[in-house]
Amino acid sequence: MNSLAMAREPDARASAAVMLKIDNLSAWYAESKVLHGMSFDVREGELLTLIGRNGAGKTTTLRSIVGIVQKRTGSIRFRDEELVGKRTFQIARLGIGYCPEERAIFSSLSVRENLFLPPVLREGGMTDEQLYATFPNLKARAGSQGTKLSGGEQQMLAIARILRTGSRLLLLDEPSEGLAPVVVKEIGEIIQRLKAQGFTIVLVEQNLRFARMVADRHVVVENGKVVDILSNAELEADMGRVKSYLGV
Amino acid sequence: MFEGISTQLLFGQVLLGLINGSFYAMLSMGLAIIFGLMSVVNFTHGAQYMLGAFIAWLLLNYLGIGYWPSLVLAPVLVALTGMVLERLLLRPLQGLDHLYGLLATYAVALIVEGLVRYKYGSTGLPYDNPMPGGINLGFMFLPYYRLWVVVFSLVTCIGTWILIEHTKLGAYLRAANEKPQIVETFGINVPKMMTLTYGFGVGLAGLSGVLAAPIYQVSPSMGSSLMIVVFAVVVIGGMGSIVGAAITGYMLGLVEGLTKVFYPEAASVVIFMFMIISLYLRPAGIFADKESV
Ligand SMILES: Nc1ncnc2c1ncn2[C@@H]1O[C@H](COP(=O)(O)OP(=O)(O)OP(=O)(O)O)[C@@H](O)[C@H]1O
Ligand SMILES: [Mg+2]
């Protein structure tokens, strides 16, 4: 690696292997095309955010990766596997965990049942002890109905349940949305801890303060396209550039 | 006890009500399970019940296989044909309006009934009682086989309830009822789960059919006449509420039996009067908000 590249990408992860490679991805809801040729990479161990205005296509990007949006073209390579053309459950079994924007806690299941619902798909997931150590609240409320938890607790539950499965790539859709600042901070700390444990994370986030606290790189999405990719250092150095994308 | 009403008659009708209720409960439970997961109103259910009884009759008369092995074999065969039906007919209709599934399953019911009627006629075929005899309780005579039907159906309903409410498998089922796509993102093959669930639900119908064979005769229309009541039960209990379906089934069987004692003229309509009143008071079903499954 030459010194120029080092200067542009000061992060040591720049040299890590690419885990997820998205190339010219387009996606549709029925007849309406929402993603128009997205391309970006996620490296092993990296925390990448997708930022952009409401309706830019961030959620759709995650849904296309996991195959909830089935109508898609282009390429999504996860390690050695092509995900376009695969069904959602097949994609999940490769080791991709998805935490949806709406959290999707099951009301007919207790907190414990929600937490242990996703089956262990491969080795390397968190043990039950590690899980409860990371999320002590969930242990205390294990018997309650899933949807009786507060918003913040439901968010924790939605993250916690995909950590046991052995998935090494986590797709988190706006975990800070609609939560009080203290809870956002708590979730930020948990995400940092997950990163330190070696999880690779794609985080959709509109809260810039939250995003720069945890991320290595940022992908800016606009109208279903990638319009910019910057390292966290670049973001820190030039907040104006990103704020203009977000219109804030 | 009641003036002019003999205890013989009263207990006889209570027993009959419990027997009918047993079939209502098992059939509506299967319907509720299928509707809960797949949003399919399975109009083939009555034909699958008839098929259970009919397969038991065929096994006995062509292969000499008796009641007890048939109690296992016939429901399994009904479940297997159900799973084929689900793959070929229902899966392509997934995601379309409920009406398509309803019409398609109704068409299959008519075809199955028609074929059986064509080959074997519409008169009932007798099926020997595997447990003849009974005990005299003093106030009434209790045939062993009827006791067996009530007990077996109760055990089946409770077993199904435990399976769905208190096992991991049931948790998948309840979760997939709510948000199938999210369950799929956990690596669960939800379409396969639907096929198996459909098989289980119609297997229950087949099982009910075998149970019914010695009591009612085996005839092509035995299912369709029963299903009208069963659909009323499911509507009263709340579509998709499994516990609601079972409890309502027993309850309405009893109500129907007691009506026969106290006001026989109303016996054939009492369930539908219940349905209208309950739809008016609780449109989503009696058990709708207590039980989301
Ligand atoms: N189920 C759907 N059917 C049709 N169009 C949809 C659907 N979901 C989203 N869209 C449209 O697709 C576009 C991208 O939506 P998407 O949810 O991916 O945006 P987003 O970047 O996640 O926005 P937000 O920040 O509000 O969550 C929007 O124009 C939206 O209206
Ligand atoms: Mg979104």
Q: What is the pLDDT of residues B81-105, one digit of tens each?
A: 999 999 999 999 988 888 899 999 9
Tokens at A160, concatenated: 């916690």
Is residue A189 within 8 Å of A149, Cβ to Cβ? no
The candidate with the shortest Cα–Cα distance to B153, out of B13, B10, B21, is B21
Kindly state the tokens that stand for A55.
């309706």
> Is residue A228 exposed (0-12), middle (13-18) or buried (19+ Cβ within 10 Å)?
middle
pLDDT confidence band for B13 (50 / 70 / 90): confident
Q: Where are the beta strands (DSSP E) in chain B?
A: 134-136, 141-143
Question: Over the stretch B143-201, which tens digit does the pLDDT of each residue have?
Answer: 999 999 999 999 999 999 999 989 999 999 999 989 999 999 999 999 999 999 999 99
| B interface test, pick of A69, A87, A89 with most B CB neighbours within 10 Å | A89
Residues 6+ away with beta carbon under 8 Å from B121: none
Q: Report the distance separating Cα B280 and Cα B274, nearest Å.
A: 10
CB A234 within 8 A of CB A65: no
Position A6 scores a pLDDT of: 41
Contacts of B222 (CB under 8 A, 6+ apart): B49, B50, B53, B124, B209, B212, B216
Q: Which residues 170-209 in chain B show a CB within 8 A of chain A?
A: 171-172, 174-175, 177-179, 181-190
Domain count for chain A:
1
Burial of A190-224, coded b for 16+ CB within 10 Å and e otherwise, reads bbeebbeeebbbbbbbbbbebbbbbbbbbbbbeeb
Provide the pLDDT for residue A21.
97
Closest partner CB to B179 (pick from A87, A106, A116): A106
Per-position b or e across B129-151, b if 16+ CB within 10 A of its CB: ebeeeeeeeeebebbebbbebbe
Distance from CA of A184 to the nearest CA of B (A): 24
Residue nearest to atom 6 of ligand 1 (CA): A29
Run means of pLDDT, 10 residues per run, chain A, 248 residues = 42 74 96 96 96 95 97 96 96 96 94 95 90 90 91 95 95 94 93 94 91 92 95 89 80
Enter the DSSP assignment of A94: T
Q: A96-99 and A18-29 as β-strands: parallel, antiparallel, unpaired?
A: unpaired
Q: How confident is the model at residue B215 (pLDDT cuts 50, 70, 90)?
A: very high
Cβ atoms within 10 Å, residue B227: 25
List the single residue in A66, A89, A117 with the smallest CB-CB distance to B190. Answer: A89
> In this model, does residue B291 exceed pLDDT 50?
no
CA of A28 to the centre of ligand 1 (A): 10
Report the pLDDT value the prediction gives residue B288, as an integer from 0 to 100.
66
Q: What is the pTM of this model?
A: 0.87
Q: How far is the CA of B260 from the centre of ligand 1 (A)?
A: 59
Question: B287 is written with which tokens?
Answer: 């058990």
Per-residue pLDDT tens digits for B235-267:
888 777 888 889 999 999 999 888 888 888 888
Q: How confident is the model at residue B289, as a pLDDT? A: 54
Question: What is the pLDDT at residue B4?
Answer: 63
Residues B77 and B238: beta-carbon distance below 8 Å: no
Band (pLDDT 50/70/90 cuts) for residue B225 is: confident
pLDDT at A248: 65
pLDDT by residue (tens digit) across B262-290? 888 888 888 888 888 888 888 777 776 54
Q: What is the C-alpha to C-alpha distance for residues B293 and B288, in angstroms, rounded to an integer?
A: 9
Task: Quick: pLDDT tens for B121-145.
Answer: 888 899 989 999 988 888 888 899 9
What letter would DSSP give residue B213?
A: T
Burial of B165 (0-12, 13-18, 19+ CB in 10 A): middle
Q: Which residues of chain B does A104 touch, with a Cβ-Cβ cutoff of 8 Å? A: 179, 182
One-letter amino acid of B74 = A
Ligand 1 site: residues with CB under 6 angstroms?
A: A 29, 32, 34, 52, 54-60, 101, 206
| Beta pairing, strands A47-51 & A217-222 | parallel
> From the CA of B171, how many Å to the nearest CA of chain A?
7
Which residue of chain A is at minimal alpha-carbon distance from B184? Answer: A89
Reported as type and span, the H/E element at residue A33 is strand A32-43
The pLDDT value given to residue B228? 87
Predicted local distance difference test score (pLDDT) of residue B137: 84
**d(C-alpha A25, C-alpha A60), whole Å:** 11
Please give the average per-residue pLDDT across B208-237, as a whole number: 90
CATH number where A209 lies = 3.40.50.300
The answer to whether B189 touches A89, Cβ cutoff 8 Å, is: yes
CA of A55 to the centre of ligand 2 (A): 7
Q: Which of B30, B22, B51 is nearest to B197 (CA)?
A: B30
